[in-house]
Amino acid sequence: MKVTLRIWRQKNNESRGRMESYDLDGVSDHMSFLEMLDLLNEQLTLEGREPVAFDSDCREGICGACGVVINGVAHGRGETTYQTTTCQLHMREFTDGSTITVEPWKAEGFPVLKDLVVDRSAFDRIIQAGGYISAPTGTAPDAHVAPVNKVDADHAFDNATCIGCGACVAACPNGSAMLFTSAKVAHLGLLPQGQPERWSRVLGMVAQHDDEGFGNCTNIGECTAVCPKGIPLESISRLNRDLFKALTRS
């Protein structure tokens, strides 16, 4: 397979970025998208040119480190692949001779470090603002000590699957990180262990979200459409209800 890649190149955060085109031959349809980028970098290195910088780690759709906008869609999307991570998108989703546009996440809260690599430490600071519980250390309690309603347990687990990749931000026209923030608020706020900090948690994390420069949610729904773990838009509604209650209590 032969493809033409239009890739965003940017030396650092202070530099002006640009799109560059590369022709790449010998692409196997069994390759993942990241393996295809590896092949491109091998070609660029042999030619004495600067390879394309991009993030990756587990390459198993678990860690959320990989993340680029492919043909205008965060993480990309094929005819048979939906709600995936970049590392789990395969080249069989593209046709021979196609042109593929690859860009980094673009949001105020995710400054570009180099090429396709962005700084996502804003997510870490949102977590530090309240994404934890106070619990005594020591021997783990018995499983039946704190009964949890199954519906709440299922919703908590669904939100806990968020891998913090940032696709929701990249897809949102407002550059909002509310889906990420709401998932981290919900999976703790639904469980008994998360109740002591429930109200301070939502106030702190939303305030940090806004301080990082992320936009407001206007319920467009693009975030859920690209989320690899399918975090529902309902999570944002739950966050808004908790935020309202927290504000009225303060």
129: phi then psi, degrees, rounded to nearest 5? -75, -5
The structural domain count of the chain equals 2
Let me know whether 186 and 224 are in one domain.
Answer: yes
- One digit per residue, pLDDT tens: the chain, 250 residues? 999 999 999 999 999 999 999 999 999 999 999 999 999 999 999 999 999 999 999 999 999 999 999 999 999 988 777 789 999 999 999 999 999 999 999 999 999 999 999 999 999 999 999 999 887 777 777 777 788 899 999 999 999 999 999 999 999 999 999 999 999 999 999 999 899 999 999 999 999 999 999 999 999 999 999 999 999 999 999 999 999 999 998 6
Rounded to 5°, the CA angle 73-77-81 comes to 155
Domain CATH number, residue 21:
3.10.20.30
Helix axes 234-249, 198-211, angle to 10 degrees: 110
Contact 109, 168 (CB under 8 A): no
**Exposed (0-12), middle (13-18) or buried (19+): which is 38, by Cβ within 10 Å?**
middle
Let me know whether 136 and 194 are in one domain.
Answer: yes
Let me know whether 91 and 196 are in one domain.
Answer: no
Contact 182, 238 (CB under 8 A): yes
